[in-house]
Structure 1
Amino acid sequence: MSVTIYQGRFAGQTAVITGGASGVGLALAERFTKEGAKVSIWDRDVQRLEQAKQTSGAVHIQTVDVSDEAQVAKAAATSYEALGKRIDILVASAGITGPTTTLWDYPPADWRRVIDINLNGVFYTNKFIVPYMKERDYGRIVNIASVAGKEGNPNASAYSTSKAGVIGLTKSLGKELAKTGIRVNCVTPATFKSPILEQLTQAQIDYMVSRIPIGRVGEIDEVAALCCWLASAECSFSTAATFDISGGRTTY
């Protein structure tokens, strides 16, 4: 798809993006920067972080494991200072798929790791960044969930559970902050081209594509376009909502 850059849309604003060294996180870092924002990228992949800083124009990067509460608290404070003592936008996109196997064969250690990164990581990042947004009574939070959180994907019980949790967290937090200037929404993509596909078997990818009426995986830029609107001041009357981008797979 062609990408339209809206010059100045995020002028003077700042953004934190978790999992920002690849996939939709990196695409958003590039677009936010081109549209005027100062961006802080979090990721646990040091090499990709350095590359992302060069390609995206981000002003700040830091290595963070979002499953570690203490690391997230410190990272939030560090980004706040690095971005000029303000955080206007948070995109929580860090995530892993976990093993492809039935629930009864699912290794408990892998279950905990998926939940720790995909769900607890979103909880920690939202928890520690919201207070900085409340200082200015303004903020936009975009949590990346998945259609798996709506429907459940077979042989992906931990991933499906974690993404369902992200949807529930978003609905709760959005309502808690509804009387403020902070809006909290989540996005539920179907399968789209990103490094996370490398963690899946071809059979699982084929299964997910077979469920998409449009008949293809999504493009990262398509997801990023939706996230950009949700992160903008124009998104003023939507909060605690789930925005589908699934090629027709889920329409509720």
Structure 2
Amino acid sequence: MEFYSRDKVYIRVITGVIFLLFLGVIGFNIFFDGINNFISKIQVKYFMAPNFVVLLLYLINILYLAGYTIIQLESSKYGMKKRVIDNYLFYPAFMFVFMGLNFHFILNDHYKLAATASVFYFLISVIIYYKAQRLRPYMYNDEVRAFLVPFANNLSWSLVLLFMSLNLMFESMGSYESSAFRVTMAIVQLLFIIALCGFVLWIFTDKIFPINTLLYLVSVCASSYLNGYFMPVGYLYFLTIIVILVIIYKVNKAQKSK
């Protein structure tokens, strides 16, 4: 597994610098908005908004990505760390760029730009996650925790941000004034979640993404009840939770029977 070639130090340095810039964007917005205004913005009420508690996933995600960024800064001239750097390339750096843009645009009410940034953030997250899963058979447990888990957790959050940004955009455009459009968008999003959870569970046997997604679904389900639109949207989310739990059970049963 160990092989030698030139160390791509520039990739590691650029990734670290852009992650620091991403943290700077967060700090900049909090500092200039003020902590109270910042909290009020991230608790904004909109159709299919998750409960504020689910945003703790964002903090956990940043901590995981910070851990990866620190680890990848060390020498990677051989072994799995070098192979990870060679495979991930500049994708983590690009991902941090769109994470920062999405965060900045949401806080400044530029929802169309936020939705665009969230699409790129999600697509890059999918690419990195796929690359990480391709390397998983060659990783030890500590390497899985360092190089795969951060991006499995990040994939779920990128999906959450994608839906949050799209819902904010449609809300600001007045599209959600139509109940038919509301239900249609809810169904589209939930079918996408079910398909992605099923794919991740069946192909990669990864439970991190489905579990994080379940937390998001529970949060939106609770929020829909508290804000008076549990029927039919919250009920659809509730049914989706049951479907994903059944998928997890079926996949676990199939794996044990092998």
User: TM-score if structure 1 supplies the norm length?
Assistant: 0.37
Higher relative contact order (CA 8 A, sep 6+): 2
Which of the pair is proportionally richer in strand? 1
User: TM-score if structure 2 supplies the norm length?
Assistant: 0.36
Larger Rg over CA atoms: 2
Which of the pair is proportionally richer in helix? 2
